[in-house]
Amino acid sequence: MTRCILFFCMGNICRSPTAEGVMRAKLAAAGLDVEVDSAGTHGYHVGDPPDGRSQAHALRRGYDLSPLRARQLQAEDFQRFDLVLAMDADNLAYATRLCPPAQRHRLKLLMNYAPQAGKHHVPDPYYGGEAGFEEVLDLVETACDGLVAYLRAR
């Protein structure tokens, strides 16, 4: 049974905290009791809140990311979390090198839960414009809906 889910990207200030916030809301709406967290493969922003643009776009859709703080992916995360979901293939590869072989079955791409989206990764909006943050939300919402359906079916 899936009790704990970790989302991760590079810095834990755009994509993964967005996924954490969206998933928390969708789990609450579905009445599912699953712990959710997010992290970054790199420690550039440890302790920082999500990017202001991510917060603003998420809030427009009803997701409050303001309480979240960036943290770095830790070795113990692979033991603690049942699913460890990457936003893209580069961060998945990085995490795979850190992950003990016995826990690698827990590592997946978030977009595996949204095959209908036709995308394998959630693109990093950090250096782009407003549309990138909206695309992240669109993809994350679709994938989180698929993840909720997966959890319900189990």
> Which residues are marked as active site?
9, 15, 124
Beta strands in 35-90 (DSSP E): 35-40, 83-86
Helix, strand or coil, per DSSP, at residue 106: helix
Structure tokens at 51: 């990017």
Q: Cα(21)–Cα(116) distance, rounded to whole angstroms?
A: 22
| Backbone angles phi and psi of 108, in degrees to 5 | -150, 170
C-beta separation of 102 from 64 below 8 A: no
Joined together, the tokens standing for residue 93 give: 């590869």
Beta bridge partners of residue 107, listed in sequence order: 84
Closest CA to 13 of 22, 4, 43, 61: 43
